[in-house]
Structure 1
Amino acid sequence: MNTDYRKPLPGTDLEYFDTRQAVEDIQAGAYNKLPYTSKILAEQLVRRCDPAALTDSLKQLIERKRDLDFPWYPARVVCHDILGQTALVDLAGLRDAIAAKGGDPAKVNPVVPTQLIVDHSLAVEHAGFEEDAFEKNRAIEDRRNDDRFHFIDWTKTAFENVDVIPPGNGIMHQINLEKMSPVVQARTDGEGKKVAFPDTCVGTDSHTPMVDALGVISVGVGGLEAESVMLGRASMMRLPDIVGVELTGKLQPGITSTDMVLALTEFLRTERVVGAYLEFYGEGADSLTVGDRATISNMTPEYGATAAMFYIDGQTIDYLKLTGREDEQVALVETFAKHTGLWADELKEAEYERVLTFDLSSVHRTLAGPSNPHAHLPTSELAERGIAGEWVEEEGKMPDGAVIIAAITSCTNTSNPRNMVAAGLIARNANKLGLTRKPWVKSSLAPGSKTVKMYLEDAKLLSELENLGFGVVAFACTTCNGMSG
């Protein structure tokens, strides 16, 4: 870490880097006009950049230039088991090579904290209407992945800076959102002093930006780039296209976050935001819970952006408390954000090179598809588009266009309590009306964390879902990777 602009953080025993002062020393009044993303990038430059290159790098952000590469040092690496294991195998191979040369293999470790979540190995062989489906699917997963899981277990004790979440616990993005991200890091430097700075991360999955909903720059990368970050190398970048997205209005009653994000995805694809960092703000964004915000951020790859940021505000603080973060950590997030200009109220003067506007009150009930998440399909047009219509039931035959798989899963949906409770209420009403699952439909429920099962049980809605054939089959990713059946 650098020493210039390092100061005590008021109200704490921590230090921080005064990015505002560093920017103002170059151009007076510039800091308040920076977008949220630029403020985060500027802070890590002040903290980590070669002092000789600091002024030129900060000018790229201040003057909205894209002439020079500058370094980005993500604070964490988050991996699913497929690509995460591959990276750790490379490090294990490097240990062998060093040992062969007479060196100490134990010195080979990730420099950056690395979190590996085993969530991409389970296939739903036993559907949600089968008894003990969860236990049966887990047994098959362990049998098929015995060698892999043995290696992953070894990495927990063999490597420093590696934390492993074993199979059967959830999806990496939902766990990242609910548990892993501190939003503001507090780490001890080489001199034994603790320094506070914004949490950032890269992840080996396209939906890694889900935690952008907490104000954490979190982007999806390939395995090689993640491995480079693990080893402490800077990820070189130029100032991205930062687009402001003003959300106006509020969602109408009965409209879910899934309805919202499908409509928003169609809108953003037409606005060509590929590769951009989006920043959502306005009265509409203020009214959204972190669960709803996470649904928007999670769909970043579907509308082609790199990140989908929300400011830190009262909703963020409420969510951190709800998900059991320590009181001291929650207080740090609020203190740091307000003191460093990352709190929502401090971003009223932020200037964007491009601003889009989307009215949340315009969202209606909708589906995706039938084949692509951006193919907006209002429920009012199902018959018109030939997807739904009259049919005559014939003995022993399925109707044309029949649904054969119904999976309640994915971090996009199961991270949002409103969505999951709504599913439970629909199941309860379906049971009251005597509706049943057709025998050809493979139904399943695979939440992104065990928390979902707990609150569904508390609300007495899990049994309603089970009666329809939507019993819990896994806590893992089962749709985006094709494992739901």
Structure 2
Amino acid sequence: MNTLYRKSLPGTKLDYFDTRAAIEDLQPGSYAKLPYTSRVLAEQLVRRCDPETLTDSLKQLIEFKRELDFPWYPARVVCHDILGQTALVDLAGLRDAIAEQGGDPSKVNPVVPTQLIVDHSLAVEAAGFDPDAFEKNRAIEDRRNDDRFHFIEWCKTAFDNVDVIPAGNGIMHQINLEKMSPVIQARDGVAYPDTCVGTDSHTPHVDALGVVAIGVGGLEAETVMLGLPSMMRLPDIIGVKLIGKRQPGITATDIVLAITEFLRNQKVVSAYLEFFGEGAKNLTIGDRATISNMTPEFGASAGMFYIDEQTIDYLKLTGREPEQVALVEQYAKLTGLWADDLENVEYERVLEFDLSTVVRNMAGPSNPHRRLPTSALNERGIAGDDMLAAAKAEEADGLMPDGAVIIAAITSCTNTSNPRNVVAAGLIAKKANELGLGRKPWVKTSFAPGSKVAKLYLEEAGLLSEMEQLGFGIVGYACTTCNGMSGALDPVIQQEIIDRDL
């Protein structure tokens, strides 16, 4: 850690690094023009970069140059159990090798705090219409992963700097958003922005809080774990100005499907996007997280939002300590990471998206950028009187209709980290029950929230029972269908699909 530009953070026992002063000393008036991402990258350079290369590294940011590699030292590593376990197996192997040479194996530990969340092991074998689905699926998960989970449990006590959240608690990205990220770190007497790499493409979910976080491969994550920098060049940082206001009844999922189509067409591959403007200001953190989570579908590396009042409200809502919330606000306002101090940012490229143009949308299943407005279902031959009549005729003969939906899953941290989306699902279930609608016998329904919080607020709102009545009972707290873990189909239904070539 460097000493130059290290100053006392007023009213606290912490220090901070005055990045604004470092930048202004090199080129007066330039800090106000720097994008949010550049300010965060500059701070860690001032704090950690070799003093001999600091000036040249900072000039890359100030002058928007891409001529030199500079170091990035992420504050944390976040892993799911598959790639995270692989990295820890490597460290365990290194311990064995050191022990064989007569060394002390206990000295082999991650240097950077590493958080492993077990969320990629659950399969939905018991569907949501089974009242015991959660217990059954967890029992199967434990049985199938006995050796793996034993090793992961060992890691909790064997390694320093490793936190493990065991199976059955949620999805890594939602837990990162709700619990893991402090937004501003306070370590070794110094406050600085939280940043992280994660072993999953949807790690940018937490970008919604103003945390620069990107998905990386297992080897790069291991490099960061061991305290080595991840070398990078200044990425393309693109401003995305959100204007307008959403129409009534439009969810964040509708918005993000439209934004995904828009950004794919704008060619933002590997870019760091920064969403700003009045439209962004009015989005809750839940809505922002839905957008940030889809960053890999845009083709981008990061989907950032500035720190503002929405951030502070969310930190309070999710139970962060008052002292931590106060630190986030004070640090962000002092160092230029607060939204009001980013009004004069100069982006090399700015895109504009009007939220008021968004309609109700569908997309997928394999291509989330292929948006389909629900108003076009009939003209595309996906819904309509002819199709309905044919389906009813097949059903009357005791057959499953060709083209029938057989898996209906409310899942994905893109959706379930957003309380508005989950409550909307509960309200639709309530209305469906009132109208006497029900699940067709061939549909495997499931509901897998990204954390246990969803169950609490749905119960309190009287909506969980409505979802259970419709067949969308909670089957687990983990990645499920969107991770390919929707479990086996009913053998009878599976055989009919094969026999009739549906």
Normalising by the smaller structure, the TM-score range is: over 0.9
Per-residue CA deviation, residues 344-390 of structure 1 (Å, 9 max, x unaligned), is 00000110000000000000001002541000100000111121123
Question: What amino acid is aligned across from residue 148 of structure 1 in structure 2?
Answer: R
Name the SS for the 1:209 alignment partner: helix
Any conservation in 2 of the 1:391–1:399 contact (CA below 8 Å)?
no
Name the SS for the 2:472 alignment partner: coil
Q: Which residue of 1 aligns with 2:178?
A: 178
Q: Which residue of 1 aligns with 2:497?
A: none
Choose which of 376, 388, 408 in structure 2 pairs with 1:391. 388
Choose which of 360, 370, 374 in structure 2 pairs with 1:375. 370
Alpha-carbon distance between aligned partners in 2 of 1:148 and 1:251, rounded to the nearest angstrom:
45
Q: Which residue of 2 aligns with 1:132?
A: 132
User: Does residue 335 in structure 1 map to residue 337 in structure 2?
Assistant: no
Question: What amino acid is aligned across from residue 286 of structure 1 in structure 2?
Answer: K
Name the SS for the 1:397 alignment partner: coil
> Offset at 1:10?
1.4
Alpha-carbon distance between aligned partners in 2 of 1:216 and 1:304, rounded to the nearest angstrom:
19
With 398-407 and 32-41 compared, the bigger mean Cα shift is at 398-407
Question: What amino acid is aligned across from residue 412 of structure 2 in structure 1?
Answer: S
Alpha-carbon distance between aligned partners in 2 of 1:184 and 1:14, rounded to the nearest angstrom:
12
Question: What amino acid is aligned across from residue 73 of structure 1 in structure 2?
Answer: Y
Name the SS for the 1:54 alignment partner: helix
Q: Which residue of 2 aligns with 1:438?
A: 440
Name the SS for the 2:164 alignment partner: strand
Choose which of 257, 262, 279 in structure 2 pairs with 1:284. 279
Count of aligned residue pairs for this structure pair: 480
Give the TM-score, by structure 1 length: 0.98
> Offset at 1:456?
0.3
User: Does residue 481 in structure 1 map to residue 476 in structure 2?
Assistant: no
Any conservation in 2 of the 1:260–1:360 contact (CA below 8 Å)?
yes
Q: Which residue of 2 aligns with 1:411?
A: 413
Choose which of 429, 432, 440 in structure 1 pairs with 2:431. 429
Alpha-carbon distance between aligned partners in 1 of 2:16 and 2:257, rounded to the nearest angstrom:
40
Q: Which structure 2 residues correspond to residues 101-180 of structure 1 after superposition, within 5 A?
A: 101-180=101-180
User: Does residue 318 in structure 1 map to residue 320 in structure 2?
Assistant: no
User: Does residue 307 in structure 1 map to residue 302 in structure 2?
Assistant: yes
Alpha-carbon distance between aligned partners in 2 of 1:250 and 1:154, rounded to the nearest angstrom:
50
Alpha-carbon distance between aligned partners in 2 of 1:80 and 1:388, rounded to the nearest angstrom:
39
Alpha-carbon distance between aligned partners in 1 of 2:365 and 2:240, rounded to the nearest angstrom:
27
Question: What amino acid is aligned across from residue 368 of structure 1 in structure 2?
Answer: A
Any conservation in 2 of the 1:119–1:168 contact (CA below 8 Å)?
yes
Question: What amino acid is aligned across from residue 11 of structure 2 in structure 1?
Answer: G
Q: Which residue of 1 aligns with 2:496?
A: none
Alpha-carbon distance between aligned partners in 2 of 1:310 and 1:443, rounded to the nearest angstrom:
34
Per-residue CA deviation, residues 229-284 of structure 1 (Å, 9 max, x unaligned), is 00001000000000000000111110000000000000000000000000000000
Name the SS for the 1:480 alignment partner: helix
Name the SS for the 2:483 alignment partner: coil
Per-residue CA deviation, residues 124-164 of structure 1 (Å, 9 max, x unaligned), is 00000012100000000000000000000000000000000
Alpha-carbon distance between aligned partners in 1 of 2:228 and 2:296, rounded to the nearest angstrom:
25
Per-residue CA deviation, residues 428-454 of structure 1 (Å, 9 max, x unaligned), is 000000000000000000000000000
> Offset at 1:413?
0.2
Alpha-carbon distance between aligned partners in 2 of 1:391 and 1:403, rounded to the nearest angstrom:
13
Per-residue CA deviation, residues 155-193 of structure 1 (Å, 9 max, x unaligned), is 0000000000000000000000000000000001xxxxx
> Offset at 1:400?
2.2
Please list every run of 5 or more consecutive structure 2 residues that lacks an aligned counterpart in the other structure: 488-502
Name the SS for the 2:311 alignment partner: helix
Runs of 4+ in 1 over 4 A off after TM superposition: none
Alpha-carbon distance between aligned partners in 1 of 2:144 and 2:154, rounded to the nearest angstrom:
18
Q: Which residue of 2 aligns with 1:191?
A: none
Question: What amino acid is aligned across from residue 18 of structure 1 in structure 2?
Answer: D
Question: What amino acid is aligned across from residue 295 of structure 1 in structure 2?
Answer: T
Alpha-carbon distance between aligned partners in 2 of 1:293 and 1:438, rounded to the nearest angstrom:
34
Alpha-carbon distance between aligned partners in 1 of 2:412 and 2:366, rounded to the nearest angstrom:
17
Q: Which residue of 1 aligns with 2:206?
A: 211
Q: Which structure 2 residues correspond to residues 185-204 of structure 1 after superposition, within 5 A?
A: 185-188=185-188, 194-204=189-199
Per-residue CA deviation, residues 392-420 of structure 1 (Å, 9 max, x unaligned), is 32222122211000000010000000000
Please list every run of 5 or more consecutive structure 1 residues that lacks an aligned counterpart in the other structure: 189-193
Alpha-carbon distance between aligned partners in 2 of 1:215 and 1:196, rounded to the nearest angstrom:
15
Any conservation in 1 of the 2:203–2:213 contact (CA below 8 Å)?
yes
**CA RMSD for the aligned pairs?**
0.6
Alpha-carbon distance between aligned partners in 2 of 1:179 and 1:470, rounded to the nearest angstrom:
26
Alpha-carbon distance between aligned partners in 2 of 1:391 and 1:341, rounded to the nearest angstrom:
57
Alpha-carbon distance between aligned partners in 2 of 1:343 and 1:125, rounded to the nearest angstrom:
46
> Offset at 1:479?
2.2
Q: Which residue of 1 aligns with 2:458?
A: 456
Alpha-carbon distance between aligned partners in 2 of 1:49 and 1:243, rounded to the nearest angstrom:
25
Question: What amino acid is aligned across from residue 403 of structure 1 in structure 2?
Answer: V
Alpha-carbon distance between aligned partners in 1 of 2:170 and 2:198, rounded to the nearest angstrom:
16
> Offset at 1:59?
0.1
Q: Which structure 2 residues correspond to residues 16-35 of structure 1 after superposition, within 5 A?
A: 16-35=16-35
Alpha-carbon distance between aligned partners in 1 of 2:51 and 2:67, rounded to the nearest angstrom:
19
User: Identity of paired residues, percent?
Assistant: 80
